[in-house]
Amino acid sequence: MTWSILRPFCMVVAFAIVFDPVAASAAKLYASGQLLIPGDPAIPPGQPGHDDSRENYIFEIDSDTGDATPVSPVTTGLPGALGATVDGTLWGWAGSTLQIVDPITGMTTPAGPMTAFSATGFDVTTDGVGYGITLGDDQLFSVDLNTGVATSVGSAGAVNVALEAAGAVDPDAFIISMGSVGDSLYGIDLDTNSLVEFDPLTGAASVVGALGAVDGVGAGIFSGYAGLTGVDENEDGQYESLFGVVNFINPGGPIGSVRLGGIARFDLTDSSWDLVGLNENVIFFGLASPPAIPEPSTIALCGLSGVYLLSWRRKGT
């Protein structure tokens, strides 16, 4: 009797959730980056505007289109590595120190002591733990966001071991990016252009797909890979997709005439990637995306609504 009362209502609730256009909104990404403002040769030399100028911003990026919009004022000292937490806080790793980044003002605030870990690869998992990897010896480390204290995970050299196992000869790993999806961390090795997967508990590493598979896309002169981040495209509070920065120069024009800041979605089965979008005269560095706060499930909504309906029915009898 009870289910016969609630079933039509729950079907309406489920339909509304499934077909609600707001639920399909694009995920929000943030990037630290630089905008090139080309000079005007018509302006006399030595006068403002004759030469190119460069301005640093925090950009907000649409995950569906890759379109980037500056959201901070012109600023300096932005971290080259970013991560984000579910409360919307933007974290950065600058040199060897954890920082909090205000995307609206572009201001950074130290959030811990200087550590022994110098890195440009950093991300925050959906359970609120920071991870980075050092330059030089590729040591994975974890970061307590409450204190900024960093701790080694596994041993240095795990990346070179993984690259050798995949066929690299005398590798010299150089990982400048880090992102997290599910229970894994990912970084791109610039020495071999390979995507490397890490176990965040042990530091063990392995190559995803074939060695060098990341560099399988050609579009103009490729400038380099930078930040990575997990993205919560399903809006369930978990990272399901890996996005990354792909910067280009000179697609079809004179060398150095154009630079494009690209956003790509990576395939975690073979390390290939698809270009989501390009932004003219921009290069990106760090990349981060806060996971969504999950919406109540259909079952939970039906349950809560059912309690209300039954209570109302009893009052009316």
45 lies in some domain: no
What pLDDT does residue 223 have?
59
146 lies in some domain: yes
Position with higher pLDDT, 217 vs 31: 31
2 lies in some domain: no
Domain span at residue 62 reads 27-37+52-316
- Residue showing tokens 């176990």: 199
77 lies in some domain: yes
Confidence of residue 198 (pLDDT cuts 50, 70, 90): very high
The three-point CA angle 245-207-268 to 5° equals: 55
Confidence of residue 248 (pLDDT cuts 50, 70, 90): confident
Average pLDDT estimate for 110-117: 95
1 lies in some domain: no
Confidence of residue 206 (pLDDT cuts 50, 70, 90): very high
CA distances, 63 to each of 66, 163, 245, 267 (Å): 5, 31, 12, 15
Confidence of residue 300 (pLDDT cuts 50, 70, 90): very low
14 lies in some domain: no
Give the pTM: 0.83
Q: Closest by alpha carbon to 87, among 296, 291, 287, 294?
A: 291
- Count of domains in the chain? 1
117 lies in some domain: yes
CA 100 to chain centroid, in Å, comes to 16
pLDDT of 131 over the 50 cut: yes
What CATH number should be reported for the domain holding residue 273?
A: 2.115.10.10
Least-confidence region, from 44-58, 96-110, 209-223, 270-284: 209-223
Least-confidence region, from 82-86, 100-104, 295-299: 295-299
16 lies in some domain: no
